[in-house]
């Protein structure tokens, strides 16, 4: 009984582990950490993991993410710019693959509206503070500003 229940799990474990542990030829050895790695990490944190809920491929532990990260590494090593690598992924997966919506067209709204709201609110705050510091019964006089 126990064996029957264990069997699927065991098979699963074996199937998962049968792949060479994360491509021994691909992962840098224990001590490597170069500018290429840093650039890869930077770019990988802007690309979305396809299977996960909103994580970047840098943060995702899934196999597919590891493979995508390897593609980034190879392309960067071959001399492509980050923009070109991003365009490569967008061509295959769509705009959705970028965690930062490209600042074009409708997407501009999500960048500009917050800033506008902050500025608009700042105006309101300034107006309110000036109104509150104006001396009583002295609507026309210059406001007291920062005090006597």
The contact set with another protein (CB under 8 A) reads: 5-6, 8-10, 12-14, 16-22, 24, 27-31, 33, 45-46, 48, 53-56, 59-61, 66, 94-101, 105-107, 109-111, 113-114, 117-118, 121-122, 124-125, 128-130, 132-133, 136, 144-148
Q: How far is the CB of 19 from another protein (least distance, A)?
A: 7
Q: Which is nearer to another protein, 79 or 94 (CB)?
A: 94
Closest separation between CB of residue 97 and another protein, Å? 7
Angle between helices 82-93 and 35-44 (to 10 degrees): 40
Q: Which two tokens stand for residue 49?
A: 């993991």
Residue 26 makes CB contacts below 8 A (sequence gap 6+) with 70
- Of 94 and 140, the one with the shorter C-beta distance to another protein is 94
Let me know if 148 is exposed, middle or buried by CB neighbors in 10 A (0-12, 13-18, 19+).
exposed
Cβ closer to another protein: 32 or 78?
Answer: 32
Give phi and psi for 47, each to the nearest 5. -105, 135
Measured from the Cβ of residue 39, the count of other Cβ atoms closer than 10 Å reads 16
CB 134, CB 144: distance < 8 Å: yes
């Amino acid at each position: 009984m126990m064996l029957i229940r264990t069997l699927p799990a065991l098979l699963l474990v074996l199937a998962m582990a049968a792949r060479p542990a994360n491509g021994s030829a691909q992962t840098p050895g224990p001590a490597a950490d170069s500018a290429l790695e840093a650039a890869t990490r930077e770019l990988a944190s802007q690309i979305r993991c396809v299977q996960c809920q909103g994580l970047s491929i840098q943060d995702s532990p899934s196999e597919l993410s590891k493979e995508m990260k390897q593609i980034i590494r190879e392309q960067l090593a071959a001399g492509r710019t980050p923009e070109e690598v991003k365009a490569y992924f967008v061509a295959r997966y769509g705009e959705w693959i970028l965690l930062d919506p490209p600042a074009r067209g409708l997407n501009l709204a999500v960048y500009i509206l917050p800033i506008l709201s902050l500025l608009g609110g700042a105006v309101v705050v300034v107006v309110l503070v000036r109104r509150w510091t104006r001396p009583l019964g002295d609507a026309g006089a210059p406001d007291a500003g920062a005090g006597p």
